[in-house]
Amino acid sequence: MSAQPIRVLPVELSYTVLSSLPLPLPRRDFHDARLSILASAFSQSSTSDILHDTEDEHRRDISGVDERKFEEVFNERSDVRPGLYEGGMKTWEGAVDLVNYLSDNERRTAALSQGSILEIGSGTALPTLFLLAKIFQSEGKEDAHERAVFLQDYNLPVLELMTFPNILLTWYLYSPSAAMYRFPHPPVSPGQPISLRLSSDLLSSFRASLTKLKLSLRFWAGDWDMLDVGGRVGLVLTSETIYRPEAVPSLARCIRRALEQPASSGSRVTKSGQETLDEPSVCLLAAKDVYFGVGGSVAEFEQVAQRLGMVGRRVWEVTEGSGRCILEMMVR
């Protein structure tokens, strides 16, 4: 599975700032994304890659999903429809748990995210948005180094209609390069929908920031078994992705590939010229202990992961209700 260009973006985004998080983060409103589908955004015969200013004259396959069926899902406001839509337009509890954990352990997660970052089943991508907000804030304040952020979701429409707009909005709220566009528009307005007009100048400034930060954004749509980012990832994030038992082996294999360190990249040279071993790659997986009614569980995932040579430990948990936890997974 190759990286997908991002081509669907309206002239205006409607969003809400989630102010209850450790760092207020934007989320495009569901109804705004739904309107993009109803406006037949996918049927454009010629569209441009927003990130790279390139043209594509061919209509895209949307991860094998019939567009009319996907529109039905939006009309029904379905949470999940297996094999068609995997819930990426909704913010799930585990994503919020991950954001809180990343904030509480900011020094370590900042070190892990110095390299590549991958979010599996990204959807609204709140955990990645938290890390990107920190990166965007650093623009011009410290020397940038090359890094890549990979975002995967089963559905390309989710990446185009929710994931990428949320990243753009995060840049808008936190990058110094976006300050000229924030005035007089309020950067944070808790709970109230806000509209942002996407001018060509704003999009050009966004691309320029990515270049200045040496930051590459890559998007993948499709099955986990097809995902291969081409090398080791420093930090893998995933939340609420183990709810279907039949999909757990595929998820575990995907995580294993991303964490596996090639023999040639076991060390790096610091600014002082000293060689030091890289910190082992880590996956942070947020989930409910048991997904009643569908059969998935943390215990089952751990068993599958162990058979693939991974070890895990609970780094955070809550026992009230059905129980939730965050697993830290590493390759043995």
69-83, 229-243, 314-328: the lowest-pLDDT one = 69-83
Say what percent of the chain tops pLDDT 70. 74
Over 70: is that where the pLDDT of 35 sits?
yes
Over 60: is that where the pLDDT of 315 sits?
yes
**How many of the other CB atoms lie within 10 Å of CB of 182?**
15
Task: Specify the higher pLDDT residue, 38 or 11.
Answer: 11
Do 244 and 223 form a contact (C-beta atoms < 8 A)?
Answer: no
Domains of the chain plus CATH, in order, are 12-331 (3.40.50.150)
For the entire predicted model, the pTM comes to 0.85
Over 60: is that where the pLDDT of 220 sits?
yes
Do 175 and 136 form a contact (C-beta atoms < 8 A)?
Answer: yes
Over 50: is that where the pLDDT of 175 sits?
yes
Bond from prior residue into 10 cis (ω within 30 degrees of 0): no
Element (H, E) at 157: helix 156-158
Bond from prior residue into 184 cis (ω within 30 degrees of 0): yes
